[in-house]
Amino acid sequence: MLLLSVFIIIRYLDNKKDVKMELRDYKEIVDSDTIIAVIGTNPIDYFIYHGRPMGFNLEILQDFAKSHNLTLKVIVENNLSKGIEMLMERKCDILAQDIIINTDNELIHEFTIPVRETKQVLIQRLPNNFNTLTYRQIEDSLIRNPNELNNKTIYIYKDNINKITIENLINKSVENIYVEEIDSIPAEQIIQYVSQEIFDYAICDINIAKIAKSYYPNIDIKTELSLPQNIAWGIRPESVILLDTINNWLKRFKKTYDYKKYNTRYINNNRTNLDINSEFYSGNEGKISEYDNIIKKYAYLSKLDWRLIASLIYEESRFNENIVSWAGAYGLMQLMPFIYTKFVPDTLQGVEGNIAAGAKYLSFLQTKVPANIQDSATAIKLVLAGYNVGFGHVEDAIRLAKKHNENTASWKVISYYLTNLSNPRYYNDTCVKHGYISGIYAVNFANNISQRFEHYKNVIPK
């Protein structure tokens, strides 16, 4: 019995230890250097436009991560139920899926303070000849009272917050209403279908509706179906310190110029800076640039994902093939003439030649990565840094790391010494063969391209 009791106690302590190990609050996030957020794709919160990752939630999350010296990892998931499941299974730390406070989800997770406010509106079509009608004639043809939705079919995005609004509408105002949930197309395309007479009615976030109204003038979005609703992020109940940290930060951040700027950019304007019908909007055709097909054609020369090369091109030239740097680098991939001449295939010139030469140069740089670096993300960052300043300086940083008995396979360590190659203490070291370089730019170059590449992988098909 004594032995059995000891065994049970040991098992109990082991189980408690396992539970403790599974806990992921702010301390564990800081220890991992990474905070993970699940976010939905839409023309407000997260999208890519002409190669640039953008979005209200994205930029706020990035600012939070930066202010706390964390790396932000974004996971795309538009299904709210799956997002909640990922949160509770500790696959993410923040649920940023436009969740309305005081829904049933509060029984599962905690809410931060509101990030923004919204309303739900009815999307309906104006009469075909609305341009020739009076205001009163148009109004008489539209639904302004929810009771008039009786026996109507309304389309909503599946698992969206709209369903809660519809259910409340059914219970309070309308006896018979048919709700069709759709998960095969985004909310903005559901609105387009209303415009094109495929659907008659839909419900969505007023801010998305405002954007769509700019492109589909024959829709009406004035019928409000909800009171103002506060949208917040979801946090696991166990992550008490994380919740407190985010709330304190949000209270301060919402008073800043940056928060006002994001509101102006994504919420409170007509969004003329975004064309949701553009082929370069990720929610539409999902092209990064007009050069996608050429990049895909020659990506094999680099043995790298074409989206990584596209991210590099965005960083170098913003897809401007005519740009020339102060140092003489030119073209989409900003190659120096001697690099271009060495690597360009004989039969190519112009844009194709520039991209092919850049891809072959990237392949060459990969041969310079030391064999002890097994982590592919670290290897790619070394290649990118070498592309920016020459791989000799990267090798100098690795030699410095080795001399100081630090991990020569760690990007964090290598980037530290690469950054400090502008410091005489380091660039005058006898192990440094290539001298001074302002390495911070190469580090930022590699980090920016890698981060953008992750965003491309999230929403741009391979």
Domain residue ranges in the chain: 2-116+231-267, 120-226, 292-366, 376-459
At residue 76 the predicted structure's pLDDT band, cuts being 50, 70 and 90, is very high
Query: What's the rounded Cα separation, in Å, for the pair 120 and 392?
Result: 57
120-226 and 292-366: identical CATH topology: no
The single residue listed with the structure tokens 């790298």 is: 304
Where is average pLDDT lowest: 82-91, 236-245, 280-289, 348-357?
A: 280-289
The predicted pLDDT at position 327 comes to 87
Confidence of residue 238 (pLDDT cuts 50, 70, 90): very high
How confident is residue 102, by pLDDT bands cut at 50, 70 and 90?
low
Q: How confident is the model over 440-455, as pLDDT tens digits?
A: 999 999 999 999 999 9
Instruction: Determine whether 224 is exposed, middle or buried from the number of CB atoms within 10 Å of its CB (0-12, 13-18, 19+).
Output: middle
Burial classification of residue 171, based on how many CB atoms lie within 10 Å of its CB (0-12 exposed, 13-18 middle, 19 or more buried): exposed
pLDDT band at 383 (very low <50, low <70, confident <90, very high): very high
Residue 109's pLDDT band (cuts 50, 70, 90)? confident
Tokens of 46: 């997260």
Mean pLDDT, the chain, rounded, equals: 89
Closest listed residue to residue 278, CA positions, set 92, 77, 50, 65: 50
Question: Could you tell me if 336 and 343 are in contact, meaning their C-beta atoms sit under 8 angstroms apart?
Answer: no
- E strands present in 301-382: none
Query: Where does residue 104 rank: exposed (0-12), middle (13-18), buried (19+ CB within 10 A)?
Result: exposed
Q: What CATH number belongs to 292-366?
A: 1.10.530.10
- Total-model pTM: 0.85
Question: Is the predicted pLDDT of residue 315 greater than 60, yes or no?
Answer: yes
Task: Yes or no: say if 355 and 88 are a contact pair by the CB < 8 Å rule.
Answer: no
Q: What is the mean pLDDT of residues 275-287?
A: 85
Confidence of residue 78 (pLDDT cuts 50, 70, 90): confident
CA–CA distance, 282 with 75 (Å, rounded to integer):
15
- Going by C-alpha positions, the residue among 107, 112, 63, 114 that lies closest to residue 88 is 107
pLDDT at 83: 92
Q: Which residues have CB under 8 Å from 439's CB, separation 6+?
A: 385, 389, 393, 397, 417, 418, 419, 420, 421, 422
- Please choose, from the candidates 197, 192, 190, 199, the residue with its C-alpha nearest in 3D space to the C-alpha of residue 215: 192
Dihedral of the CA atoms 284, 286, 292, 298 (nearest 10)?
Answer: -140
Assign domain 2-116+231-267 to a CATH class: alpha beta
Q: What is the CATH number of domain 120-226?
A: 3.40.190.10
> Higher model confidence: residue 406 or residue 166?
406
Higher model confidence: residue 168 or residue 191?
A: 191
